[in-house]
Structure 1
Amino acid sequence: MKYLLMIYGNQEKWDAFPAEEWPEAVAKQDAFNTRYRESGELLGAYGLGDVVTAKLVRRENGVAAVTDGPYIETKEYLASFYLLDVASEERAYEIAADIPFADADPVELWPILHEAPQP
């Protein structure tokens, strides 16, 4: 079963995190990624750029129309996501709870209902 785990954040939260604690936080995250990649349960872990770097893309007259955005009305935005392939929903819960920041902020867990076939 595949699941998407999502973590939300905001610039205010990142700015408030003490600079001297970042190396330890990154090491914990790297250890998490390594542990679950080696078990075969973590298919990918991705950190996203700051919201000010995001763009909106639409199709107009058959070509891409790119604008700044999104213009988020909430303080929180998607900061990172993980793709899991696990044996059960309970196992997905265990892994989500093991994310280093899960003790400070919730992790969203979404089942993946459909996957495009691979050639």
Structure 2
Amino acid sequence: MKYLIMMYGNKEMWESFSAEEVKEAIEGQDAFNRKYAETGELLGAYGNADAAEVKTVRVRGGVPAVTDGPYLETKEYLASWYLIDVPDERRALEIAAEVPFASVRAVELWPVPHEAPGNRL
């Protein structure tokens, strides 16, 4: 079963970390990624750009319209996500609890019950 582990944040939160804390956080994430890539349970780990770099695309009447940024109702945005493939929810929860940022912020665990044909993972 596949699960999506998601972490939220914002630019102000990231900027609140000292240079040493950022270095330690990256090292922790890299170790987490290596550990679960080696077990085959981590299918991908992705960090998103800051919300200021996002574009929104809408198609109306067959014409695409592109605007800057998401229209967030919250100060936090989806900052990073992991796709894991594990036997059951128990294992997914164990892995989610090891995400280094889970000690700083909450992480969400979403089951992925449907997969589109043609996925490469």
Report the TM-score when normalising by structure 1: 0.94
TM-score normalised by L of structure 2: 0.93
Runs of 4+ in structure 1 off by over 4 angstroms are: none
Equivalent residue, structure 2, for 1:97: 97
- Where 1:101 maps in the other structure, the secondary structure is helix
- Percentage of pairs with the same residue: 63
2:60 is matched with which residue?
60
Aligned equivalents of 1:101, 1:23: Cα separation in 2: 13
Match of 1:74 in 2: 74
RMSD, aligned CA? 1.2
The range that moved more, 84-93 or 61-70, is 61-70
Q: Secondary structure at the match of 1:21?
A: helix
Question: Number of paired residues?
Answer: 119
Offset of residue 62 of structure 1: 2.1
* 1:13-34 residue CA offsets vs partner (Å, 9 max, x unmatched): 1111111221121111001001
Tell me which amino acid in the other structure corresponds to 1:51: A
The more displaced of 53-62 and 39-48 is 53-62
1:73-112 Cα deviation digits (max 9, x unpaired): 2111110000010011000000000001111111100001
- Paired residues for 1:1-119 under 5 Å: 1-118=1-118
User: What are structure 2's unaligned runs of at least 5 residues?
Assistant: none
CA distance in 2, matches of 1:118, 1:38: 24
Uncovered stretches (5+) of structure 1, i.e. residues with no partner: none
Q: Cα deviation per residue 1:39-84 (whole Å; 9 max; x = unaligned)?
A: 0000000000000001110113324211112121211111000001
SS of residue in 2 equivalent to 1:33: helix
Which amino acid letter does the alignment assign opposite residue 12 of structure 2? E
CA distance in 2, matches of 1:28, 1:61: 47
